[in-house]
Amino acid sequence: MRMTNEEFAERLGLSDRTISRWHSSPAMTHRPEVQQILDLAYEKAGEAVHRRFALLMRPPEPRMEAQALRVAIAVVLRGDEVLLVCRRGDGELRWQFPAGMVKPGAVPESVAVQETHGETGIHCTVRAPLGERVHPVTGVVASYFLADHLAGEASNRDPLENVDVAWVPRTALTRFIPQDQIFPPILNALEAAA
């Protein structure tokens, strides 16, 4: 009713301390005679007070939590070769593994498979997750997956983002991507697969 505690207490015929206790314990249950006084005050209040009260009594809306930018990355193997894409960006070209943004609610493993096909035409299946890290170049959360080639010929299906697509020998990977930028579990997985 836009009154001070003292004004509201006087209107209801209660003490200031009672109103202060209500503020400190909003979930308290009132004695029946006090509840009757409150009900009567509410009935006599105008429409504007009823609207404000209804807004205050609404349950809080669920809060959306901010989500870190996330990408899913597929390390696709075909025999002794690994699939790479050459990306455009910041005036330079960079070789990297096929990757895509993970939207809220999406499964990173599925995104890795779908983006690989969308960018390169290669169908693959995830063999194992390789872990996650904050990518040292982009600063996004990166989820890595070791995948096996199932079918398809590599071609550049996303010419706006990529310049080229290639199968490169695993032993030559560090000629395309500097070793210090490769997530160590990828190198371990490639050595184990050899």
At 31 the three-state DSSP class reads coil
Q: Give yes or no for a contact between 84 and 97, defined as CB atoms under 8 angstroms apart.
A: yes
Full residue range of the structural domain in which residue 51 is found:
5-57
The pTM of this model reads 0.67
How many domains would you assign to the chain? 2
pLDDT in tens, 92-137: 889 999 999 999 889 999 999 999 999 999 999 999 999 999 988 7
Same domain, 14 and 78: no
Whether residue 65 is contained in a domain is answered as: no
User: Which of 128, 1, 114, 126 has its CA nearest to residue 56?
Assistant: 1
Whether residue 64 is contained in a domain is answered as: no
Whether residue 119 is contained in a domain is answered as: yes
Same domain, 93 and 121: yes
Same domain, 52 and 82: no
Task: Report d(CA 146, CA 61) in Å as an integer.
Answer: 40
